[in-house]
Amino acid sequence: MTDTYAIHAEPFYAPQGREVQLYEAAYAARLPVMVKGPTGCGKSRFVEYMAWKLGKPLITVACNEDMTASDLVGRYLLEANGTRWLDGPLTTAARMGAICYLDEIVEARQDTTVVIHPLTDHRRSLPLDKKGELIEAHPDFQLVISYNPGYQSLMKDLKQSTKQRFVAFDMDYPAAELETTIIATETGIDEATAAKLVKVGQAGRNLKGHGLDEGISTRLLVYAASLIRHGVDATDACRMALVRPITDDADIRATLDHAIDNIFA
């Protein structure tokens, strides 16, 4: 089963600082890790890269508001001959020694996330109350969570009792030169075009808090570059990938469209 969750090919990841070395130290100490940063800045890619680099299986859970503790831990399934217990992803990771990555954990209800607490302190255990079993986490197990601080609110934030169980990394969009390299490497477009896309991205990010809740992510810049790589006109690709997905406000759209026209003129 371990091979099912293994990362066989190296994911492309360009370090922004010392995060790779710091994560390796956190893993060596088996400390739970929290990765914070805006949408599309590379949080999930970073975790995937570290799982590959460490040679550990990775089980990823996309958290949502309908997720229950049973979705993480497991449940009994009713079958023709009775019931059968099915481990959830968190339990599976704890048993096999995988890295369990809970993506955008603040989307889950707080009464669901408390189930991770025993795995994030000295106990490193997971009680399966419904099954009457206490799992001692495999020595290689590590828990990683991520979320976007820009979407924090009273209704969507982690409890301090949860936050203080993790060491944390702050991530952001890469510097312009590095982001240009990332886009060119990911998509195969020339660096001059990639640099222009980064300028469009920066124009969008400057509008964050002035009409936009979030800036244009690196992920969206890669989408735009992919369209260009497949023959779409650059201005059309930018409108399609960078503007229309993030806003319906006519004034913001006009501002960004004008920036695109100027940059790709």
Tokens of 232: 């779409």
Cβ(69)–Cβ(105) under 8 Å? no
The pLDDT of residue 108 is 87
Q: Which helix (H) or strand (E) holds 216?
A: none
18 burial (CB, 10 Å; 0-12 / 13-18 / 19+) is exposed
Place of tokens 């969570």: 145
What CATH architecture does domain 2-170 belong to?
3-Layer(aba) Sandwich (3.40)
What is the rounded distance in angstroms from the CA atom of residue 200 to the CA atom of residue 196? 6
Paired strand residues for 170: 36
Domain boundaries, the chain: 2-170, 176-263
**pLDDT tens, per residue, the chain with 265 residues:** 678 899 999 999 999 999 999 999 999 999 999 999 998 999 999 999 999 999 999 999 999 989 999 999 999 998 888 889 999 999 999 999 999 999 999 888 877 888 999 999 999 999 999 899 999 999 999 999 998 887 655 456 788 888 999 999 999 999 999 999 999 999 999 999 999 999 999 999 999 888 888 889 999 999 999 999 999 999 999 999 999 999 999 999 999 999 999 999 8
